[in-house]
Amino acid sequence: MAPRKKNFSQEMKDSTKPVSGNAARAHAALMALANPEKAAFLAGFFKTGKGQYAEGDRFLGITVPAVRQIARQHQGLSLAEGTGFLESIYNEERFLGLLVLVRHYEKGDASSRETVYRHYMDNRHRINNWNLVDCSAPQIPGDFWLRGDRAPLWKLARSASLWDRRIAVLASLTFIRAGDYGDTFKLTEQLLGDTQDLMHKACGWMLREVGKREQGVLEEFLGKHCRRMPRTMLRYAIEHFSPELRAEYLKKTGNLKIYQS
């Protein structure tokens, strides 16, 4: 006989429970907001089904603003407690843990920042959905690599893990904000053949961020590579161009009819 599937309430009871006072209170605050209907919607939205990119991820059904509010209300959470939340089966708890890591990184000195960065890199197998990457990669590894050696970025960019590759690309947002676009262009060129649509979106998003600052620099890059770009990547990159210029690029790549449909 197949094992009986646990219901939402029983699954929450069986989840990892932090033992320390601060972490236990934050955990309880999250559990109090759990919403099974919203959780079911998020499971579909974040593609958690069999064979999908986030297969097996679980949700409590809590909005991002609500998780951020709980993080603000529990600012006494230590780095160890934040890292502990990354062990949770629930996406929202891992999200909370990453917010704690980001806070410790941003408030720390050079030594503290390196410690947080090591915690992040050592636990990145738990940073396994796009919302988790996007809320932390620019702030922690992106800032750390901006200040020093970027060799680990390129190791992640070559990884078989979708999430490692997305961390590498999202980290470059910090470089872009500092006026440094070279690595974003190199990453995009390297990942033109990536099979994952999430990577097409990530690269296109970063290119769009470059274009918001220096459209001419982006157009120079597109002139060399737009014909090889996946449709999604190109459409993200040119989103802020004029309608006429968007049409011009899409016509070059044979995507104009698809774009207009």
pLDDT digits (tens, 9 = 90+) for 11-51: 555 455 666 789 999 999 999 999 999 999 999 999 999 99
What span, in angstroms and rounded, lies between the C-alpha atoms of 189 and 199?
12
| HEC letters along 42-68 | HHHHCCCCCCCCCCCCECCCCCHHHHH
Q: How many CB atoms lie within 10 A of CB 122?
A: 11
The better pLDDT of the pair 254, 189 is held by: 189
- Per residue in 71-116, pLDDT (tens digit) is 999 999 999 999 999 999 999 999 999 999 999 999 999 999 999 9
Q: Worst-scoring range by mean pLDDT, 3-12, 116-125, 196-205? A: 3-12
Contact between 82 and 104 (Cβ < 8 Å)? yes
Task: State the pLDDT at residue 253.
Answer: 78
Residues 132-172: tens digit of each pLDDT: 999 999 999 999 999 999 999 999 999 999 999 999 999 99
What angle is formed at CA 31 by the lines to CA 25 and CA 35, rounded to 5 degrees?
155
Say if pTM beats, i.e. exceeds, 0.85. Answer: yes
What distance, in Å, lies between the first and last C-alpha atoms of the chain? 50
